[in-house]
A and B are shown apart, each in its own frame.
Chain A
Amino acid sequence: MLKVIGKMDIAIASGKGGTGKTTLSVSLTLSLQALTNKKVRLLDCDVEEPNSHLFLSVKSKTIEDGWVESCEFDAEKCTGCNKCVEACRFNAIAIVKKKPIFFSDLCHGCGGCVLACKFDVIKSVNRKIGKIVTKEGNNVILRYGVLNIGEIASPPLIKQVQISDPEIGLTIIDSPPGTSCSMVTSVEKADFVILIAESTAFGLNDLEIAVETVKGLHKSFGVVINRDGAGDDRVEQYCKKESIEILARIPDSLNVAKHYSNGKIAWGIDKEFTSNIDGLATKIIKRFSL
């Protein structure tokens, strides 16, 4: 597989939303930046609900169009031969009375129909589906995508967020929650995956699914237990049984939650939280000799 992004790419993922993924991504980025004193990049791949930018003091650098490859039909020329319908593995085209009916949301831009049509009806085009924003400040580069409302295909936009930059030593990838194809697209190119989970019945269930997904992608990974102490020890037991490394335990803290709801990340403010995140960052720096 094509290796990407920067020299070392770490994805942060969770089986579902609301597990503190944004908090962890942002604070780990800040901590790694501070401890290495090098530029760190954060790619917020949750294009349906990007929110990392709310917690970082970064300034807008560029805004680019996010697009997906799609098709356009010159319906006048269509002979109704049906070849494009047969060629489309994604069932994005129907032909009725020599008239193409195209469902752009089903199209994956593979170009199969363009090749199949002998009558020059179809051409490949780029269709705008959102935007990509790059911001920078204090040696942190943040890049995120915003998917237009009504669009459903986030992977093409995520791939554009994950633009390669071999100059950057360290990249943190904030993956969308869940184990959908958006999550797979986000973690696919990472060198290491951090799964964040809460130790509750639901939390464990989501974690197990996420573990299966990253194992299927042949990724090395570890677990961060968030709000440790708020639940039970079932995640701890599970990790022990499955020989999964627990990278950090972030204690349950009202203070951290308060900061978050005020639009602030507790790193650098809350002492205990900061030292926990710094501990995790130090582990990462040592392990990957950053």
Chain B
Amino acid sequence: MKIAFCIQEDKGKESILDSRFGRSPGFLIYNTEEDEAKYITNKQNLNAAQGAGVQSAQNIVNEKVDVLITRNCGPKSFSILLEAGVEVYLSKDSSVQIALDKFNKNELTKSGNSNVEGHW
């Protein structure tokens, strides 16, 4: 299973989680079977005038991710992730490791809806 996290800079599982999804500087994609983490940049979206969430969701979908762990997710991003079958879990934790532990213990809430209004 592949799990994506919104992070500020790549420090493997010690990476700090970013509070944004659309404008997260990058994503850490953790492969649970191989216990391997890969970083993908989302920099092109930091300055996007609009639709950053759409592009971020597309990036996540292109990586064939199964689960996204994020603090926030807007309606447009959510609709794309839903279509792609990516499950969205909400976490306000500080690092990838903490959020991952909670996810494994089933302590994170699965989001059935976008939790923030988009702004475009």
Contact = CB atoms under 8 A, between A and B. Distances in A.
A94 B50 contact: no
Contact of B83 (A82, A90, A96, A106): A96
Interface stretch (B3-11, B33-41, B51-59, B96-104): B51-59
Given A90-B51, A94-B54, A95-B58, 19 more contacts: A85-B55, A85-B58, A90-B50, A91-B48, A91-B50, A91-B51, A91-B52, A91-B54, A94-B57, A94-B61, A94-B80, A96-B83, A97-B84, A99-B83, A101-B80, A103-B54, A105-B120, A106-B51, A106-B120
B20 interface: no
B84 A96 contact: yes
Which of A92, A94, A101 has most B Cβ within 10 Å? A94
B51 A103 contact: yes
A103 B58 contact: no
B83 to A, nearest CB: 5
> Size range of the interface on A?
10 to 19
Contacts, number: 42
Contacts of A99: 83
* Most chain B beta-carbon contacts within 10 A, residue among A82, A96, A101: A96
Nearest to B77: A94
Interface residues of B, number: 17
A94 B77 CA distance: 10
Majority SS at the chain A contact face: mixed
A96 B54 contact: no
B50 A101 contact: no
Interface string B49-85: 1111011011001100000000000001001100110
A93 to B, nearest CB: 8
Interface in B88-118: none
B19 to A, nearest CB: 20
Candidate in A91, A92, A99, A106 with the most chain B CB atoms within 10 angstroms: A91
Contacts of B84: 96-97
Contacts of B61: 94, 96
Contacts of B52: 91
A138 to B, nearest CB: 42
B113 to A, nearest CB: 17
Contacts of A82: 62
A106 B52 CA distance: 11
B50 A106 contact: yes
B8 to A, nearest CB: 22
Nearest to A106: B51
Contacts of B83: 96-97, 99, 101
A99 B83 CA distance: 9
Nearest to B83: A96
A95 B51 CA distance: 14
Interface string A74-86: 0000000010010
B66 to A, nearest CB: 14
Contacts of A85: 55, 58
B50 to A, nearest CB: 6
A93 B49 CA distance: 15
A105 B49 CA distance: 13
A91 B54 CA distance: 6
A106 B61 CA distance: 20
A92 B80 contact: no
A106 B80 contact: no
A105 B52 CA distance: 14
